[in-house]
Structure 1
Amino acid sequence: MPGRSRIVWPVIVLAALVSGLLAWHMAFGGLMTRLDQSLILSRHALTLEIERFRYLPAVAGEDARIRAALQIPEDRGAITAANSYLETLVQTSGATHLYLLNREGVTIAASNWNLPESFIGEDYSFRPYFKDALAQGSGAFYAIGVTTKLPGYFLSARVILSDGTQGVVVVKIDLSPLQETWSRAEQDTVVTDADGVIFLASDPDWLYRPLTSLSGEVLARLDRQQTYSGADIGAAVPLMQGALGLIRGKNNRMSASRLAVFGQGWQVLAATPVVPAAGIAGLGAALGGLVAAMGLGLAKIRRQRRALLELERHQSAMLERRVAERTAALNHEVEARRKTEAELRAAQESLIQSEKMAALGRMSTAIVHEISQPLAAMEATLLTAVMLAEAPAPEATARIETARGLVRRMQRTTKRLKSFAQKEATATEPVDLLSVIEEAMEVVHPRAKAAGIMPKLLPVPVSCKVQAGRVRLEQVLVNLLVNALDAVEGRVGAQVEVSLELSPDEARIIVADNGPGIAPEVRERVAEPFFTTKSKSEGLGLGLAISTEIIASFGGQIDLDPHEGGGLCAIVRLPRPKPEER
């Protein structure tokens, strides 16, 4: 027994050590993963905030008022016009300041021309953004303003007049709102320049501190450019601590991760305390030691009870037989339930098919109307074509083509009915939405012409393809168009508009009218079979029910929303293929 006691404690310590290391590895790995995700979001937010002002200096430099002020700086009227233009542009764009420098770097027009801290007359030729703009056409630089004493990001663009006169338009952006957003997050976030100086930080105590010690040359250059005017960068304590990626926190050590931003050496860093990970590691070590102790204790108990196992074997064998019998009974019960569920599914499918065939039978009146009208029109068209064929008449060919079109219309109708009656789902294919919309509008053209209301297809910048059935999708659009025409027929100023809107995930076909709309109390029932707000002679109440089923088979849905100007918007939503599937 004393020998066994000497073995127990080393085993427990070893188990605690291994468990603690594994817990630390997992906790620290999760911590770094969250840091990387936070970095990506922070970098994206910073990039978006800057990119929306990227082209503002170049665009402002093309304005005639800016070019006039640059060409004739002694003309007070031209300068006043440029000041007003820059002031208006700042108010509409959301930028902090916008100003114009001449070839010598002196401000001749500014958005804050009428404020005490006006830039008018200030010389900014020492700023890198001015030198880079003259040399390369554009520049960018983050610094604390020497006039306003407020930090910001400066974007510049060169302006060249026809006579060779040059100037620079500069926009200043306030990035401090990003700091307020980051301060509400769990991780501390900072942005550093190419020299490693922090100029954006969720913690105000970290602002204008270098990550590592700066050389005298770097400090001299920052002082010469007045990058951080008013901040003593040389006296600030570096934030990084060793080569382990650890930085000083307020009360503990923190781990950091970084990502590069733009091409000017900026970096986004995210840091979080490592104490929680250490606490998890300690908890894991304690748990590992406890489990090892419990395991050893259980082993001891097992040895003590080994003598009793022989007495319990008979009872165990009896229990196993009972368990086997119960397991067999359960298996039999499970098999019976499976058969019952299969029979229920078969009965459900048969009921659905029976309902579809019953609906097809109840649609007979509408089918006769749909076919008899083209037949009557075809008979009159062919009779006219025969009469015209006896004498030279160029209209005969057009009349016969009209008859052929009516025949094709009947063929499409019967094809749709045959497709609806089939039990299996119709195969789908990539379908161009714009062509389907145009074909549906051609189908309802006679109905629209009779009503005196021509549906209007709003301009579509670009079409797209979705996975659907072309004929069935056209049937849905025809049904929605006919419903819209019925709703606005006889109304003053009646309008029916069709539009196509695209988003990354779905395509929306919108049929909008300015009719009476649908009462809220019946809106939830309009898609029910045989429910209709029309008279029994006008409809069977199956159009929206069938259309909803068709769109659902394509993975989409139909929404009926009120129109802003009165009326109804019928929105067909269809999923778009993923980029890799397109």
Structure 2
Amino acid sequence: MRGTARLRRNRGAALWVAVVLCVALAAGALAWRAALSEIDARLDQNLILTLRSLETEIDRFRYLPKVTGEDARIRTAIRQPYDPAAIAAANRYLERVTELAGASHLYLMDAEGRTLAASNWQLEESFVGRNYSFRPYFRQALEAGAGGFYAIGVTTKTPGYFLSARIEAPGGVVGVVVVKVDLVPLQRAWEAAGQATAVADADGVVFLSGVADWLYRPLSPLGSDALARLAAQRTYLEADLAGAVPLLDAAGGWMRDGAGRRMRAGRVGFETDWQLVAAAPLRPALMAALGWAGAAALATALGLGLAKIQRQRRQLVALRLRQSEMLEGQVEIRTRQLAQEIEARREAEAELRAAQEGLVHSEKMAALGRMSAAIVHELSQPLAAMEAVLAAAGISIDAGAPPEKAATRIETARSLIRRMQRTTKHLKSFARKESGTLEEIDARTVAESALELVQPRARAVGVLPRLEPGAALMVRAGRVRLEQVLVNLLLNALDAVEAQPQAEITLRLSEAEGVARIEVCDTGPGILPEDLPRVVEPFFSTKTQSEGLGLGLAISQAILSEFGGRLEIASRPGEGTVMAAIMPRAVTEMVREVSA
């Protein structure tokens, strides 16, 4: 079953991929054809504009040879080719006409092709005396009356278009006038405009182009006859036509110049053997085709995905309807389980809270146990003294002593009773359990009560803790719990200084920036650095003979945390220990200070 389902899913996925690919290929092909058609239209328009500019440039000089040949100075130079004066007059005339017309060169040839006069007669590359009968434009003029030919100048080594016209006399042909037109400015304009435009001759050799790499390269491979003819005519001089790579591929529609261009060609109207070539890059067409293919694939995939989602949604709705009863039953069962878990958690929290309170109370009782011997001594001593005083009072009464003497002894007994009452009062207050509520209390009063509680233990050790004087310090805490913290700290200090000569314990209260600080400082042996981080851990103790549970500092820290405070311990071996209970001051006290 699983194998069949997997095979079915794979077939469905393959079908979807096939549909998406087919749509993408169709859209890409249509976009490619449309882009090529648009490129061809632009290229055709470019060909028309290029043809118009080329015709305009050449038509400016088309009739200049014919008109020049009608001048008397030209005809005189043909009739008298060895007359220096006639030749000089013809040279100056040709030079002036060239300057006014803006042509490149203008020169006169006799019937044998020898140049008689030229516009560049004064320059080193003068045409005068040179024979150009091998040029096609000379034979065309003799045979047809006019000619045109594009070539690189043999003398000047610069390209140009040569227009020729025959000069006739009653006795027959007497000479030919030729004007050379410079078309390089037109080529530079194409280059500046970024136009991939070119003009090729009858053999397909490009002689004008807006792309420098196309110059003097054939559109198609040249035959041996064409290469021989072009070499004989010296059309392109040193250009390596035989080794040049053709510009077009075998199909004739693509440029092979490495730029991936589309080509269009057309004939020049005034020169039927010339070809105009225009090309455009195919990258935009390719990007458009890819874009349309991608968009079509994405749209098809989205459509198929939405259809699948819709079908799956209907299936899910049906599945949910079938599962609703099962889910309701499971929810009901889970609800009952959660209620039981909540109740069990509440009971566990109550037991934990009771255990914590019991632990705190146990530690408090342990502290009382640590002070029991001293407390018994504190109570037994006044009792013995009171018994002796009362006995003495009874004897004095029996002996008939004055009443004042008996009254004095009775008052002494009463003071001893009050002393025991104070001790028991502190013990009862310390031993009772306190609610978890916080109130604003005077930390100094609590500190005094704690000192009273540890007095029996202090007298047994032989060191009386000293409370530094100062004003009241209000904090928000529980009175009994704070008293328990201070008793724990004082008992730890007393344990530390026991059997220490000249030991001191100081209780110091201070405040700064809204924080109250109660420090218990002793001059005991201190705490080892390796033990200092662990002294607040439960059941950890460095006192091997102690009767405590090892929970005093851990419980003190937990109590201070409930007050929003903390316990800080600083100690150096041999210098003593400072344990500080730090907690926030009461808000009302701070408000009173700000108001004052």
Q: How does 1:475-494 map to 2 (within 5 A)?
A: none
Q: Counterpart of 1:54?
A: 62
Instruction: State the alpha-carbon separation in 1 of the partners of residues 30 and 195 from structure 2.
Output: 24
Distance 1:176 1:163, change over 3 A: same
Residue 205 of structure 1: CA displacement?
1.6
* Alpha carbons 2:246, 2:256 under 8 Å: kept: no
* Alpha carbons 1:252, 1:275 under 8 Å: kept: no
Residue 53 of structure 1: CA displacement?
0.8
Matching of residue 268 in structure 1 with residue 280 in structure 2: no
Q: Counterpart of 1:211?
A: 219
Residue 121 of structure 1: CA displacement?
0.1
Instruction: State the alpha-carbon separation in 1 of the partners of residues 193 and 253 from structure 2.
Output: 20
Which of 184, 202, 226 matches 1:176? 184
Q: Counterpart of 1:415?
A: none
Give, as a single letter, the amino acid of the residue that structure 1 aligns with 2:264: S
Give, as a single letter, the amino acid of the residue that structure 1 aligns with 2:190: W
Which of 185, 190, 204 matches 1:196? 204
User: Counterpart of 1:285 in 2: which secondary structure?
Assistant: helix
* Alpha carbons 2:47, 2:277 under 8 Å: kept: yes
**What are the Cα deviations for residues 472-514 of structure 1, in whole angstroms up to 9, with x where unaligned?**
xxxxxxxxxxxxxxxxxxxxxxxxxxxxxxxxxxxxxxxxxxx
Which of 252, 261, 264 matches 2:259? 252
* Alpha carbons 2:148, 2:162 under 8 Å: kept: yes
**What are the Cα deviations for residues 505-553 of structure 1, in whole angstroms up to 9, with x where unaligned?**
xxxxxxxxxxxxxxxxxxxxxxxxxxxxxxxxxxxxxxxxxxxxxxxxx
Distance 1:284 1:244, change over 3 A: farther
Which of 27, 40, 50 matches 2:35? 27
Taking only aligned residues, the RMSD between alpha carbons, in angstroms, comes to 1.9
Residue 186 of structure 1: CA displacement?
4.2
* Alpha carbons 2:142, 2:173 under 8 Å: kept: no
Instruction: State the alpha-carbon separation in 2 of the partners of residues 5 and 41 from structure 1.
Output: 54
Give, as a single letter, the amino acid of the residue that structure 1 aligns with 2:60: R
Which of 216, 224, 231 matches 1:223? 231
Q: Counterpart of 2:154?
A: 146
Instruction: State the alpha-carbon separation in 1 of the partners of residues 109 and 18 from structure 2.
Output: 77
Q: Counterpart of 1:132?
A: 140
Instruction: State the alpha-carbon separation in 1 of the partners of residues 306 and 98 from structure 2.
Output: 76
Matching of residue 282 in structure 1 with residue 290 in structure 2: yes
**What are the Cα deviations for residues 443-489 of structure 1, in whole angstroms up to 9, with x where unaligned?**
xxxxxxxxxxxxxxxxxxxxxxxxxxxxxxxxxxxxxxxxxxxxxxx
Which of 232, 242, 251 matches 1:243? 251
Give, as a single letter, the amino acid of the residue that structure 1 aligns with 2:259: N
* Alpha carbons 1:24, 1:277 under 8 Å: kept: yes
Residue 111 of structure 1: CA displacement?
0.4
* Alpha carbons 1:71, 1:161 under 8 Å: kept: no
Residue 304 of structure 1: CA displacement?
5.2
Give, as a single letter, the amino acid of the residue that structure 1 aligns with 2:45: Q
* Alpha carbons 1:146, 1:226 under 8 Å: kept: yes
Instruction: State the alpha-carbon separation in 1 of the partners of residues 171 and 22 from structure 2.
Output: 83
Distance 1:230 1:6, change over 3 A: closer
Residue 276 of structure 1: CA displacement?
2.2
Give, as a single letter, the amino acid of the residue that structure 1 aligns with 2:71: D
Give, as a single letter, the amino acid of the residue that structure 2 aligns with 1:254: R
Q: Counterpart of 1:42?
A: 50
Give, as a single letter, the amino acid of the residue that structure 2 aligns with 1:253: G
Q: Counterpart of 1:104?
A: 112
Q: Counterpart of 1:296?
A: 304
Distance 1:165 1:31, change over 3 A: closer
Instruction: State the alpha-carbon separation in 2 of the partners of residues 228 and 248 from structure 1.
Output: 22
Give, as a single letter, the amino acid of the residue that structure 2 aligns with 1:33: A
Q: What TM-score does the superposition give when structure 2 sets the normalisation length?
A: 0.50
Residue 308 of structure 1: CA displacement?
12
Residue 252 of structure 1: CA displacement?
3.2
* Alpha carbons 1:71, 1:165 under 8 Å: kept: no
Instruction: State the alpha-carbon separation in 2 of the partners of residues 286 and 164 from structure 1.
Output: 74
Q: Counterpart of 1:455?
A: none
Instruction: State the alpha-carbon separation in 2 of the partners of residues 49 and 84 from structure 1.
Output: 25
Q: How does 1:115-514 map to 2 (within 5 A)?
A: 115-164=123-172, 166-249=174-257, 251-261=258-268, 262-303=270-311
* Alpha carbons 1:142, 1:227 under 8 Å: kept: yes
Structure whose alpha-carbon radius of gyration is higher: 2
Give, as a single letter, the amino acid of the residue that structure 1 aligns with 2:181: I
Distance 1:46 1:161, change over 3 A: same
Give, as a single letter, the amino acid of the residue that structure 1 aligns with 2:205: V
Residue 239 of structure 1: CA displacement?
1.3
Instruction: State the alpha-carbon separation in 1 of the partners of residues 47 and 221 from structure 2.
Output: 24
Residue 31 of structure 1: CA displacement?
1.1
Q: Runs of 5+ in structure 1 lacking a partner?
A: 310-582
Instruction: State the alpha-carbon separation in 1 of the partners of residues 223 and 137 from structure 2.
Output: 23
Moved more, 272-281 or 97-106: 272-281
Instruction: State the alpha-carbon separation in 1 of the partners of residues 114 and 124 from structure 2.
Output: 17
**What are the Cα deviations for residues 363-406 of structure 1, in whole angstroms up to 9, with x where unaligned?**
xxxxxxxxxxxxxxxxxxxxxxxxxxxxxxxxxxxxxxxxxxxx
Moved more, 166-175 or 129-138: 129-138
User: Counterpart of 1:241 in 2: which secondary structure?
Assistant: coil
User: Counterpart of 2:241 in 1: which secondary structure?
Assistant: coil
Distance 1:67 1:276, change over 3 A: same
Q: Counterpart of 2:446?
A: none
* Alpha carbons 2:194, 2:210 under 8 Å: kept: no
Q: Segments of 4+ in structure 1 off by > 6 A? A: 306-309
Residue 131 of structure 1: CA displacement?
0.9
Q: Counterpart of 1:12?
A: 20
Give, as a single letter, the amino acid of the residue that structure 2 aligns with 1:168: V
**What are the Cα deviations for residues 323-345 of structure 1, in whole angstroms up to 9, with x where unaligned?**
xxxxxxxxxxxxxxxxxxxxxxx
Instruction: State the alpha-carbon separation in 2 of the partners of residues 164 and 190 from structure 1.
Output: 40
Give, as a single letter, the amino acid of the residue that structure 2 aligns with 1:117: E
* Alpha carbons 1:212, 1:238 under 8 Å: kept: yes
Q: Runs of 5+ in structure 2 lacking a partner?
A: 1-7, 318-596
Give, as a single letter, the amino acid of the residue that structure 2 aligns with 1:260: R
**What are the Cα deviations for residues 311-363 of structure 1, in whole angstroms up to 9, with x where unaligned?**
xxxxxxxxxxxxxxxxxxxxxxxxxxxxxxxxxxxxxxxxxxxxxxxxxxxxx
Q: Counterpart of 1:359?
A: none
Give, as a single letter, the amino acid of the residue that structure 2 aligns with 1:179: Q
Q: What TM-score does the superposition give when structure 1 sets the normalisation length?
A: 0.51
Residue 78 of structure 1: CA displacement?
1.3
Give, as a single letter, the amino acid of the residue that structure 2 aligns with 1:133: A
* Alpha carbons 1:191, 1:266 under 8 Å: kept: yes
Instruction: State the alpha-carbon separation in 2 of the partners of residues 154 and 102 from structure 1.
Output: 16
Residue 185 of structure 1: CA displacement?
3.2
Instruction: State the alpha-carbon separation in 1 of the partners of residues 194 and 80 from structure 2.
Output: 54
User: Counterpart of 2:293 in 1: which secondary structure?
Assistant: helix
Residue 200 of structure 1: CA displacement?
0.6
Moved more, 92-101 or 21-30: 21-30
* Alpha carbons 1:35, 1:187 under 8 Å: kept: no
Instruction: State the alpha-carbon separation in 2 of the partners of residues 157 and 14 from structure 1.
Output: 64
Instruction: State the alpha-carbon separation in 2 of the partners of residues 53 and 123 from structure 1.
Output: 23
Instruction: State the alpha-carbon separation in 1 of the partners of residues 15 and 152 from structure 2.
Output: 67
Instruction: State the alpha-carbon separation in 1 of the partners of residues 197 and 82 from structure 2.
Output: 48
Residue 301 of structure 1: CA displacement?
3.7
Which of 44, 63, 72 matches 1:64? 72
